[in-house]
Amino acid sequence: MKKTVEDVELKGRKVLLRADLNVPMSDGEITNDNRIVQALPTIKYVLDQGGRVILFSHLGKVKTEEDKKDKTLQPVAERLGELLGKDVPFVPHTRGESLEQAVDKLADGELLMFENTRFEDLDGKKESGNDAELGKYWASLGDIFVNDAFGTAHRSHASNVGIGSNIETVSGYLMQKEIDFIGGAIDSPERPFVAILGGAKVSDKIGVIKNVLDKADKVIIGGGMAYTFLKAQGKEIGNSLLEADKVELAKSLLEEAGDKIVLPIDIVVAEEFDANAKHRTVSVDEIPADMEGLDIGEETVVHFKEVLQGARTVVWNGPMGVFEMENFAKGTIGVCRAIAELTGAKTIIGGGDSAAAAMDLGYADDFSHISTGGGASLEYLEGKELPGLSVIDDK
């Protein structure tokens, strides 16, 4: 069990709070403030407890001086202030006297935000390379570290592991939620446990497939990766996405798992990879040699829905087709709806495209948990140890 923000005294203490405020921006404007909203419970709790909050995050990748213009956290500080109903002073530096003085002036229940941690990458990747001196410096600014940035938990950076190696470290509410939901689903799921995996490539999710095959009662496979499995069964897949070097692996997984792996039974095929391409639905045994599969068919949605009935734990990662194109989004919509309508089940989306799909389709509130970290949730589902989690103190 990891220590949480509720396990420690915060009043009067300088609280370093690493959030994931890596919001999408366009022309200096925030286009989606969901990550700021998700960070609010931890920020509010620390402020209410009388902590002095030093808030920080990364924002995109910073490779040139020019990048700094578009990657400043100032608009995030302004939006956070609107959501909190109070001014959020912004320090446009990542270190130095002005930052130190601003920290020293904080009173109980006050906060400030400092500049994008990735600005430190312009001088030899000090942030993303977990520079020991930088981690130690940032740790020196506070009395305690609250890590609430699950989205970077799979990375060993100065702003998570570097700080946590030098100071008492606890998890924030968002981080703890990820530990409870994703960690709980993998380590001690309520059964039956069904995993649904989609997306383009088997190679992206080999570790996840192997790990969930050990843990789940059924593993549903859709999306582009399904065609490599269908090929492994000896089926014609036409011009569908294929990882030829993974066919033998898929074959061995099918042999090992037996009927635990559930594959599509019909496919929406098109003449080309185009939103307006002519398309039709065919059985997986009748995929034309000159066409490609871009979505699962209606019968497959019904079949997957039947497999889900009675499930007590469901983890979904990856779309069922090219859901960005309306003609090939029905499979993803159907699966999303089927999970959302389950009663009595713990339903979890492991970040990435499936999280975006659920939000876009208006089903976000119908899931028990939607992960805030794409890469981090994938590695967590693989059973890997995440550096940003490991550095949090145990109870």
Looking at the annotation, which residues are catalytic? 35, 201, 352, 375
Which residue, among 215, 226, 282, has the nearest Cα to 254 in the 3D structure? 226
CB 77 within 8 A of CB 90: yes
Amino acid (one-letter) located at 298: E
CA–CA distance from 182 to each of 82, 189, 372 (Å)?
A: 31, 9, 11
DSSP code of residue 2: B
User: Rounded distance, CA 12 to CA 106, Å?
Assistant: 10
Range list of H helices, 27-85 = 34-48, 67-70, 74-84
CA 328 to chain centre: 23
User: Rounded distance, CA 102 to CA 375, Å?
Assistant: 34
Amino acid (one-letter) located at 206: I
Cα distance from N-terminal residue to C-terminal residue, the chain: 6
17 beta partners: 55, 146
CB 378 within 8 A of CB 317: yes
Residue 3: other Cβ atoms inside 10 A? 17
CA–CA distance from 365 to each of 31, 32, 339, 348 (Å)?
A: 20, 17, 12, 11
